[in-house]
Amino acid sequence: MSNPNMANREVCDLIFVDYSTKKPFLNLDFANVSTTELTGESVFAYGGKGHPKRVQFAGERGGTLTIETQIQTVKLWQMITGGEIKNTAKFVTRVEAAVDAGSDNSTIITLTDTPVKGSVVVYADGDDCGKELECTVNDKIITLDATSALKKDDKVIVYYMKEVSAGVQSINIKSTSFPKNFTVYGDTVMKTEDDEVLPYKLTAYKVAPQSNMSLSFSNSGDPGTITITCDLMADSDDNMLDLTLIEETVTQ
């Protein structure tokens, strides 16, 4: 078969390979949309009456590979941002707790975590983020100052910084973080007018993910979609893109 009439209604599975090390970086087989766009600029030499176009020059060849996905991974965020994955994280947490009596008749609050030093802030129940209650902290035990006038079983709200180091993947993005360059290999299928399903391969020799990422969180509607746009560039041999059709019928 040569030059068959065909159409596509399937997304590309994409493998991102680190351009520098040639090692696989991410298997992106969960996209909903993958779009390849080629761009260029035409300029013309003009001459004669009416200022007609006489000679055309083409240049500034480029394009984009755009991916839309509702499935996300930390590795995907790293690819877009160029951030560094860390296995520790700090964040503020809020707990509602009851006051207890200490062995010396002091009023205490016992936390389930050991807070980061100097991060504890306590408010009376009903005065959230209002007047801070004086206290001292020793490990997980908060001792309220006698001026608080709180007694056993009274409710309080505690804010503190929590540090975690088990089962954590955190992306640290700096102002100096930039994405790596990648070679991308795509895999999908084309269907011909003769009802044959043929493998279709895409190779983008050098792409640079744009550092734009929008993460939306909503309690209604469809799951959030993240869009990744990669700029197509030329490699050291001026290669940009291969589009390959394999005349080998895929079994459905």
Domain end (from 164, 197, 229):
164
Taking alpha carbons only, the member of 117, 127, 134, 116 closest to residue 156 is: 127
- The domain in which residue 21 lies consists of 6-86+170-245
- Cα 220 to Cα 41, 69, 107, 139: the distances in Å are 43, 18, 43, 41
- Interval 4-40: pLDDT, tens: 899 999 999 999 999 999 999 999 999 999 999 999 9
Read off the pLDDT of residues 153-176 as tens digits, 9 standing for 90 and up: 999 999 999 999 999 999 999 999
Q: Structural domain tally of the chain?
A: 2
174-217: pLDDT as tens digits: 999 999 999 999 999 999 998 999 999 999 999 999 998 888 88
Q: How far is it, in rounded angstroms, from Cα 180 to Cα 169?
A: 19
**Domain-located, residue 56:** yes
pTM of the model: 0.85
**Are 23 and 17 spatial neighbours (Cβ–Cβ below 8 Å)?**
yes
| Single residue among 138, 164, 190 that ends a domain in this structure | 164
